[in-house]
């Protein structure tokens, strides 16, 4: 269950270089901080391949964060301001490339610090390079707890654990069951990608079910491989199970493919969720509004949090100003806040020394756009951020209001799904 303190808070690859404003001739020497003319921060993202859509979203968040700093003359480091340059490489959505490019950034390009890539399996592999080179590595794209159970000192993650995502979804569902809107026990079809991310989602749901004293029964428990093309056999098992709840964990491409086949197969469950996926504009465009209505998603951030003011509102306003009025999704928000966390630690260190910055990241306590309003990397969670998720639901009018937790809800959840109510 959500800790009580959280509720209180509510009250060869393509090379892209983001030019630093006023960087001058800053590449002469990096032998000492006094000689630095700029900060070079390296990163890879999946700009092509299976995760390219999301990689592009993270790039938008990075770009905004770097632009804001450079507009102010650079990052304050001690008594100097240093422009910041993002050296961004395309890891093509593959582990081997993500690893080799991280090594290149550290040992050939001589960047000062690293921002991480997107997708847990890529972050897990790539972060090993940072640890081996004692290079602070801040990522907003890896939510699997396995990444943070290795005792690494230089790896910091902004995505709260995926186990908590599954647990949060079940808390919303449990409220509906207790209100008599779902049968007791409710039957669950649980399907999950065969990755650390998927296994964490499964564990979060299972742990909740095990503690619910007979309120739920898992009738399907099946994994699938990433980048699938045909989920027919899996969905056939879901259909035959007569489940009340269809809970899937999937990355965006698999969500789109699976939901298209789900609709074609005539499936309809009283509750349907694809974990963190559901409200993305790209999915609505691909599937049609009528085919995504009712889907629940538990996400790390929502633009609706801007209604509370503070850093979230400032970020949404800045993003819309830069990107022609388009509202950000959680992907851009996490990219932006990842860069901002690293910038904050460098400023607090007053130095570009890796150990000094690593120490400040480990002790970080900053106001944040994230749910709960604070960001830290607690040692007890392996330097993985820990904060509440918000649950959204797609509505026929195209909106996706927050429906849980009640303290930040912007709309009322509809259960059972009206498409499927009998």
Whether residues 242 and 371 fall in one domain: no
Q: If pLDDT is split at 50, 70 and 90, which confidence band does 418 have?
A: confident
- Which long-range contacts does 128-131 make (Cβ < 8 Å, 24+ apart)? 128/99, 129/99, 129/102, 129/103, 130/102, 130/106, 130/154, 130/155, 131/155
Residue 394 within any structural domain of the chain: no
Residue 410 within any structural domain of the chain: no
Q: Which residue has the higher pLDDT, 223 or 36?
A: 223
Whether residues 254 and 332 fall in one domain: no
Q: Report which DSSP code applies to 261.
A: H
Whether residues 63 and 110 fall in one domain: yes
Residue 260 within any structural domain of the chain: yes
Whether residues 192 and 277 fall in one domain: yes
Residue 75 within any structural domain of the chain: yes
In the listed set 257, 279, 299, which residue is the last one of a domain according to the structure? 299
In the listed set 246, 273, 299, which residue is the last one of a domain according to the structure? 299
Whether residues 98 and 205 fall in one domain: no
Whether residues 182 and 89 fall in one domain: no
Q: Which of 88-92, 304-308, 337-341, 375-379 has the lowest mean pLDDT?
A: 304-308
CATH of the domain at 292: 3.40.50.2300
Residue 132 within any structural domain of the chain: yes
The number of distinct structural domains making up the chain is 2
Whether residues 166 and 270 fall in one domain: yes
Whether residues 248 and 209 fall in one domain: yes
Q: If pLDDT is split at 50, 70 and 90, which confidence band does 28 have?
A: very low
Whether residues 80 and 128 fall in one domain: yes
- The reported pTM is 0.86
Q: For the segment 320-346, what is each residue's pLDDT rounded down to a tens digit?
A: 999 999 999 999 999 999 999 999 999
In the listed set 275, 299, 323, which residue is the last one of a domain according to the structure? 299
Whether residues 10 and 150 fall in one domain: yes
For every residue of 81-144, DSSP letters joined together read EE-EEEEEEE-TT-HHHHHHHHHHHHHTS--SEEE--SSHHHHHHHHHHHHHTT--EEESS---
Q: Report which DSSP code applies to 240.
A: H
- Rounded to 10 degrees, the C-alpha dihedral 213/219/221/225 comes to -140
Q: For the segment 232-272, what is each residue's pLDDT rounded down to a tens digit?
A: 999 999 999 999 999 999 999 999 999 999 999 999 999 99
Query: Which residue segment(s) compose the domain that 355 sits in?
Result: 4-160+304-381
């Amino acid at each position: 269950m959500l800790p009580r303190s959280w509720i209180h808070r509510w009250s060869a690859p393509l090379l892209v270089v983001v030019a630093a404003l006023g960087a001058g001739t800053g590449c002469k020497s990096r032998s000492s901080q006094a000689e630095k003319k700029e900060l070079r921060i390296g990163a890879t993202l999946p700009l092509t391949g299976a995760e390219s859509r999301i990689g592009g979203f993270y790039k938008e968040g990075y770009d905004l964060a770097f632009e804001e700093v450079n507009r102010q003359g650079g990052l304050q480091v001690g008594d100097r301001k240093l422009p910041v340059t993002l050296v961004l490489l395309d890891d093509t959505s593959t582990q081997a490339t993500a690893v080799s490019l991280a090594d290149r950034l550290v040992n050939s390009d001589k960047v000062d610090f690293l921002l991480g890539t997107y997708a847990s399996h890529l972050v897990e592999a790539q972060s090993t390079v940072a640890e081996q080179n004692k290079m602070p590595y801040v990522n907003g794209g890896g939510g699997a707890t396995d990444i943070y159970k290795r005792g690494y000192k230089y790896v910091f993650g902004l995505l709260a654990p995926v186990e908590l995502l599954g647990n949060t979804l079940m808390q919303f569902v449990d409220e509906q069951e207790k209100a008599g809107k779902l049968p007791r026990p409710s039957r669950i079809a649980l399907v999950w990608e065969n990755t650390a991310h998927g296994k964490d989602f499964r564990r979060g749901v299972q742990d909740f079910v095990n503690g619910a004293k007979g309120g739920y029964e898992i009738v399907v428990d099946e994994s699938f491989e990433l980048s699938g093309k045909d989920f027919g056999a899996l969905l056939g098992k879901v259909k035959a199970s007569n489940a009340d709840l269809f809970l899937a964990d999937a990355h965006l491409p698999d969500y789109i493919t699976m939901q298209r086949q789900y609709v074609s197969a005539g499936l309809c469950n009283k509750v349907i969720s694809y974990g963190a996926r559901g409200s993305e504009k790209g999915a609505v465009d691909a599937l049609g509004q009528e085919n995504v209505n009712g889907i629940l998603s538990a996400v790390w951030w929502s633009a609706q949090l801007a209604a509370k003011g503070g850093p979230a509102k400032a970020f949404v306003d800045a993003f819309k100003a830069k990107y022609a009025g388009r509202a950000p999704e959680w992907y851009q928000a996490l990219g932006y806040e990842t860069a901002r966390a690293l910038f904050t630690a460098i400023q607090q260190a007053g130095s570009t020394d890796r150990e000094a910055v690593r120490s400040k990241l480990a002790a970080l306590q900053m106001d944040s756009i994230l749910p709960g309003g604070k960001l830290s990397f607690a040692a007890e969670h392996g330097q993985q951020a820990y904060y509440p998720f918000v649950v959204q639901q797609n509505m026929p009018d195209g909106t996706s209001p927050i429906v849980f937790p009640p303290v930040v809800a912007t709309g009322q959840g509809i259960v059972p799904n009206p498409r499927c109510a009998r």
